[in-house]
Structure 1
Amino acid sequence: MAGMSQQPTDGKIVVDGIDKQFRSGSGTVEALRDVNFAVEEGEFVCIIGSSGAGKTTLFRIIAGLEEATDGTVWLDGEPIEGPGTDRGMVFQEYGLFPWRTVLKNVTFGLEQRGLDKQARLERAREMIELVGLDGFEDSYPKELSGGMKQRVGIARALAVDPEILLMDEPFGSVDAQTKQRLHEELLDIWSATNKTVLFVTHDVDEAVTLADRVVVLTGSPGSVHEVVEIDLDRPRSRTDDAFAGYEQRLRDAIE
């Protein structure tokens, strides 16, 4: 990955001049062009944009699952060059192992890190309690609702104590009522853990509900059109005029 020799600006995560091109039989497709922004430690930042603006591609580059064509993503001053336990990931597809119980799904990452059994179980139970799934430790994914599955995914991501929580449209598959409840729970978890959260969504309402700041990607190739600070106290009410004003500002920016 090309890039500068040192992180160019302060921030927990610094996205520095990211370009991404894909080569196919019909030629080269440019997905991202010169994307730049920073995320401070403990901040909750949402990335939004229209379809084709490169949100998920950018997420995968920050996660270390995809390599940028040019530019660098920095984490604490070090370039990201692949996946790492410093980043916990939650996807729209739950990604749970159907043959493992809730408890065993949450201990999976801890097993990969070589923790002893007692330490794994204690940490997993702590995370299961944090996401409100006490009593479901021995349940299998097929026995859970969509919202419960996603909470297992969050518990699994948090179990390894990552510095960053990366979330790619994690609530896109649940109904509106469940989504609202998950928003409240996620903000409680964020407050309790002080994690830095980077959250990709196409839902403007969701971004205004959750974020300290919103990065708006537009165009094809995608680039940063605007970074909007959401200056509203939490919890936020969707019926407030100020909330509606931010929604409209973000919609106008996307369009």
Structure 2
Amino acid sequence: MAGVSDGDAAASDSSTADDAERTNATMRGSKVVVDDVGKVYESDRQRVEALSGVRFTVNDGEFVCLVGPSGCGKTTLFRTIAGLEAPTSGEIRLDGEPVTGPGTDRGMVFQEYGLFPWRTVRENVAFGLEEQGVRGTERTDRIDEMLQLVGLTDFADAYPKELSGGMKQRVGIARALAVDPEILLADEPFGSVDAQTRDMLHQELLRIWSETEKTVLFVTHDVEEAVKLSDRVVVMAADPGRVREVVTVDLDRPRDRTEPAFGEYVDRVRRLIGE
């Protein structure tokens, strides 16, 4: 078997160094950097490695979906990026600054709507602004702007119990965006609604994303949803949770599920997941 010459080794080292420099340059210019993140849960009885060496970036204004099999750590990673949990190793940076806890620079939307039942739609949207100390006309104008953005101006005085599931989720999106975050984080936000409502919410979210130019990181178990929405799909593997591949979805919007190219992307991501 042929050995590796000094020249080959030098070329390999140079190539590795160049690759590392390109990766570092990409990370320096990214909105969100997930840099070699690990997460371990330990107790007296067991040690569970939920995440290991997770590394990817999200660019400014980009829509990125995170998919993977059950138990791959999608929600754990989401909570870590949100600052709700600290990584055991590695680092998450937003605009170059380490994430050390929750902040108004990250708006969050969850599968469970999380609306306050005793508050009207307007009052729910106002919650984050109240926490920030925004008052008076500035707060009123911002709430009106968000209600118009999500198409709920006529329901400003309604209570959550009077809304459909899709409307509740639009309130959640308005509340998350009201504080003008740098990034919108969404964890399975449409998992509790029917297929028809989900399609409508996809259209609404893409419109809102286009109008606001926000960066979006969207967690889902639905591969078709990921391909329909995202610029790139981060595909995770399990045991422990790690990035298997990042797939760029090079399709014009709006995307048609019946198009062969759409199906090819879906099949590719499903193969990576192992479905």
Shorter-chain TM-score: which interval? over 0.9
Match of 1:229 in 2: 248
Give SS of 2:67's match: strand
Alignment match of 1:132 (pick from 144, 148, 151): 151
Alignment of 1:2-151 (within 5 A): 9-151=28-170
Deviation at 1:122, TM superposition (A): 1.2
Counterpart residue type for residue 189 of structure 1: I
Distance 1:149 1:184 in 2: 16
Q: TM-score, normalised by structure 1?
A: 0.96
Confirm or deny that 1:249 pairs with 2:268: yes
What secondary structure sits across from 1:207 in the alignment? helix
CA contact (8 A) 2:27 2:57 kept: no
SS in structure 1 at match of 2:247:
strand
Q: After the TM superposition, which segments of 4 or more aligned residues of structure 1 sit over 6 Å from their partners?
A: none
CA distance in 1 between counterparts of 2:61 and 2:111 reads 23
Per the TM alignment, residue 8 of structure 1 is displaced from its structure 2 partner at its CA by 5.3
Structure 2 unaligned spans of 5+:
1-25
Q: For 2:93 and 2:213, how far apart are their aligned partners in 1?
A: 20
Which whole-Å CA distance do the structure 1 matches of 2:54 and 2:111 have between them?
24
**Where does structure 1 lack aligned partners over 5 or more consecutive residues?**
1-6
Structure 2 CA distance for partners of 1:8 and 1:190, relative to 1, 3 Å:
closer
Structure 2 SS opposite 1:135: helix
One-letter identity of the residue aligned with 1:138: D
Q: Which has the higher helix share?
A: 2
CA deviation vs aligned residue, 1:193-214 (integer Å, no higher than 9, x gap): 0000000000001000000000
| CA-CA distance at 1:14 after TM superposition | 0.4
Provide the residue aligned with 1:4 in structure 2.
none
Query: In 1, distance between residues paired with 2:43 and 2:200?
Result: 42
Q: Give 1:240's match in structure 2, choosing from 252, 259, 263.
A: 259
The structure having more radius of gyration, on CA atoms, is 2
State which of 160, 167, 188 in structure 2 corresponds to 1:169: 188
Q: Sequence identity of aligned pairs in percent? A: 66
Structure 2 residue matching 1:215: 3-state secondary structure: strand
Whole-Å separation in 1 of the counterparts to 2:117 and 2:51: 35
RMSD across aligned C-alpha pairs, in angstroms? 1.2
CA distance in 2, matches of 1:206, 1:26: 38
C-alpha distance in 2, partners of 1:31/1:183? 30
Q: Distance between the aligned counterparts of 1:247 and 1:217, measured in 2?
A: 15
TM-score of the superposition, structure 2-length normalised?
Answer: 0.89
Q: Is the 8 A contact 2:28 2:96 kept in 1?
A: no
Partners of 2:244 and 2:28 in 1: CA distance: 19
Residue type of the alignment partner of 2:63: F
Q: Among residues 194, 206, 209, which one is paired with 1:187 in the alignment?
A: 206
Aligned amino acid, residue 168 of structure 2: K
